Amino acid sequence: MAFLPSETTLSSEVVFESAVSASDDVFALRFFPVFDIQRHIAVALFCRPMVDGLGTEAVNGHEAFRAVSPQQLVEIDCAILEEAVTLGERLGRAGIAVVVGASLSFATLSDPRARHIYRDALRAVTGRERTPPLIKIEDIPERTGANRIGELVQCLKPLTPRVWVHLPGSHLPLAAPLHARGFVLSMPPMLPLHGMEIEARWLARQGVAHGVSACMDRVSTAAELDAVRTGGVRFAAGPALRRRALEPRATLEEIRETLYATDGAVQ
């Protein structure tokens, strides 16, 4: 397993090579755009890991790292955080107004030692920004209860109030508060139209009930995007938005094109 080179003050190559085992897969960090369907522009970029294995489709997110140890995983998560903050600082200096967020594995938060390491890293970068970084917790196991998710969200809140939760599925009962600023749900693949609509409406209802923003991830087709829009979900991410993921070294021109170009994808 190897990582593509990436700029970060944490010395990415050293961090990545020590955090993963041998494999033919090639890993990299990429920034994935999140769109505001009402405003027709990208409003956020989230740093996530991705792997493009030979003969397979690209895998985005922490599910690619389920075989690594908690110590290795927290190193990856700290590198993701550093990349996100570094890009946010660069865009701020350029006058580009966009939220830059960092994905975080639920497994890192669940391990006491890894959680301590990550909180120290978050405390360090928070002092560099006027606005605390936005963190999205992902890769939550299917049977995790709302109370447990809420507990781990709360452990981040003193360091950054801007915490989003990537829900494991629409089956999760959300009777208990998660204390998050936003919910993300991935659109399951190959659903019939009514299934897409059910998923979108469920997410929109949860957002309203908990008073948080809602984003549908992995929106891959025009039909899925229509279902998300008509279901009342304001934010979306995925191939249907027709914007490629950005490398950390992307030029300001490439970033502006991803954020502001119009081609009718979300009209």
Q: Cα–Cα distance between 102 and 178 in angstroms, integer?
A: 19
Tell me the sheet residues that pair with 101: 46, 134
The DSSP call for residue 49 is E
Mode of pairing for the β-strands spanning 59-60 and 235-236: unpaired
pLDDT by 10s per residue, the chain, length 267: 343 334 333 344 444 444 444 344 567 788 999 999 988 889 999 998 876 554 334 455 566 666 667 788 898 899 999 999 999 999 999 999 999 999 999 999 999 999 999 999 999 988 776 778 899 999 999 889 999 999 999 999 999 999 999 999 988 888 788 999 999 999 999 999 999 999 999 999 999 999 999 999 999 999 999 999 999 999 999 999 988 889 988 999 999 999 987 654 555
Pairwise CA distance, residues 10 & 76, whole Å: 10
User: Which domains are present in the chain?
Assistant: 29-260 (3.20.20.450)
Tokens of 96: 């580009």
Q: Which phi and psi angles does 188 have, rounded to 5°?
A: -60, 145
Rounded distance between C-alpha atoms, residue 38 and residue 36, angstroms? 5
